[in-house]
């Protein structure tokens, strides 16, 4: 059999979640992780030393010197655009963190530039790859719920301090938009209430949703809570023939047939630390990303999904500001 060469990967970002990028790539036998670029010389060198990488504080220099096969970016939420654009214009395939950006015009520019160069452009909506979410997707695809009638998403914890008034909606609830559309189909319209009761922007939001298939839903997202609370995240999807409930993304999945008092339940077993750990959702997503990359296919979650979540976020803002229901397009 022909030997498959390793994928050479460079990282952009030496922050907290950037460590997860370094972890997942460094542990793969099919990847050569060569370098990391960051803004702080001290932090970047510390990350490079930890994983045996070369450190750069100049992105262009790293790209010109390393010539990677794939670039993986994890930067502060409001600072995604410039570095992402630089990588795209340099002609490198890339995996980026959510949110794609905060501005729809910037999102369109990034997507257009990547399409012009026919680049592999993935976004890390890793929540899709949690075991309970995968089980939910399978049950829906098998028709076990019948027709979906309504869905409920709730998620939130402590504030991620940001100067942007809609940070919670755009940088965190993007996962809610993405999961609801992935599982239930496109969102047709939205009506919104928000509060800035605790200051620092609209940290808590409540949305009423209508799906194109006729189902309805709700989304509550907050930075006025705590990730220490049990049941920080809950996703419930109801259909004419059954109901799915997911607790805390990775903790528990249940399916109950309509009329039955017995539920099918998945929870990670005693030795199954992998599926119980939230961070491992990135590992599973990366399996799919690199498989598609190796086969020359489109990413399993294309950056267009980031643009769509942003579009839904701004539709929610428009609804709140106008006091009316807003069409979400497709």
Cβ pair 15, 76 in contact under 8 A: yes
Q: Tell me: pLDDT of 22 over 90.
A: yes
Q: What are phi and psi of 140, to 5 degrees?
A: -65, -45
What are the beta bridge partners of residue 247? 234, 252
The CA distance from 265 to 147, in Å, is 21
Q: Which fold has domain 7-126+294-299?
A: Rossmann fold (3.40.50)
Q: Which two structure tokens, joined as six digits, stand for 129? A: 């790859």
Half-sphere exposure of 219 (CA within 13 A, CB side): 27
In the chain, which residue ranges form alpha helices assigned H by DSSP? 16-26, 41-51, 59-66, 81-89, 104-116, 131-141, 167, 174-184, 273-276, 280-294, 304-322
Q: Which CATH architecture has domain 128-281+310-327?
A: 2-Layer Sandwich (3.30)
Q: Tell me: pLDDT of 3 over 50.
A: no
Domain boundaries, the chain: 7-126+294-299, 128-281+310-327
Cβ pair 251, 132 in contact under 8 A: yes
The CA distance from 51 to 254, in Å, is 39
What's the per-residue H, E or C state across 70-115?
EEEECCCHHHCHHHHHHHHHCCCCEEECCCCCCCHHHHHHHHHHHH
Q: Give the three-class secondary structure for 20.
A: helix
Q: Tell me: pLDDT of 16 over 50.
A: yes
Cβ pair 182, 246 in contact under 8 A: no
In 90-205, which residue ranges form alpha helices assigned H by DSSP? 104-116, 131-141, 167, 174-184
**Axis crossing angle, helix 81-89 with helix 59-66, rounded to the nearest 10:** 30
Q: Tell me: pLDDT of 1 over 50.
A: no
Number of helices (H), then strands (E), in the chain = 11, 15
Question: Quick one: what percent of the chain has pLDDT higher than 90?
Answer: 97
pLDDT band, residue 160 (cuts 50/70/90): confident
Cβ pair 92, 63 in contact under 8 A: yes
Average pLDDT on 294-305 reads 97
What are the beta bridge partners of residue 244? 237, 255
pLDDT in tens, 167-226: 999 999 999 999 999 999 999 999 999 999 999 999 999 999 999 999 999 999 999 999
């Amino acid at each position: 059999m022909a030997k498959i060469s390793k994928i050479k990967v460079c990282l952009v970002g030496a922050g907290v979640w950037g460590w997860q990028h370094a972890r997942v790539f460094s542990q793969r036998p099919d990847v050569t992780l060569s370098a990391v670029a960051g803004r702080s010389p001290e932090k970047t060198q510390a990350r490079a030393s930890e994983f045996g990488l070369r450190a750069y504080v100049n992105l262009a220099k790293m790209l010109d010197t390393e010539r990677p096969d794939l670039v993986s970016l994890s930067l502060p939420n409001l600072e995604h655009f410039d570095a992402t654009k630089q990588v795209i214009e340099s002609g490198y395939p890339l995996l980026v963190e959510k949110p794609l950006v905060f501005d729809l015009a910037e999102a369109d520019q990034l997507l257009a530039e990547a399409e012009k160069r026919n680049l592999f452009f993935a976004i890390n909506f890793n929540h899709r790859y949690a075991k309970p979410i995968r089980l939910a997707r399978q049950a829906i695809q098998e028709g076990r719920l019948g027709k979906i009638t309504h869905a409920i998403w709730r998620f939130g914890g402590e504030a991620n301090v940001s100067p942007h008034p809609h940070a919670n909606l755009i940088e965190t609830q993007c996962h809610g938009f993405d999961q609801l559309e992935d599982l239930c189909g496109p969102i047709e319209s939205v009506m919104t209430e928000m509060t800035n009761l605790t200051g620092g922007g609209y940290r808590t939001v409540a949305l009423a949703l209508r799906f194109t298939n006729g189902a309805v839903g709700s989304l509550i997202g907050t930075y006025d809570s705590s990730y220490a609370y049990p049941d920080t995240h809950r996703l419930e999807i109801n259909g004419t023939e059954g109901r799915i409930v997911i607790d805390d993304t990775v903790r528990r999945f249940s399916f109950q047939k309509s009329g039955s008092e017995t539920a099918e339940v998945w929870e990670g077993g005693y030795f199954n630390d992998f599926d119980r750990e939230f961070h491992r959702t990135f590992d599973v997503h990366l399996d799919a990303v690199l498989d598609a990359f190796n086969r020359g296919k489109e990413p399993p979650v294309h950056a267009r999904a980031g643009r769509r979540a942003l579009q839904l976020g701004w539709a929610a803002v428009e609804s709140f500001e106008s006091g009316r229901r807003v069409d979400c397009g497709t």
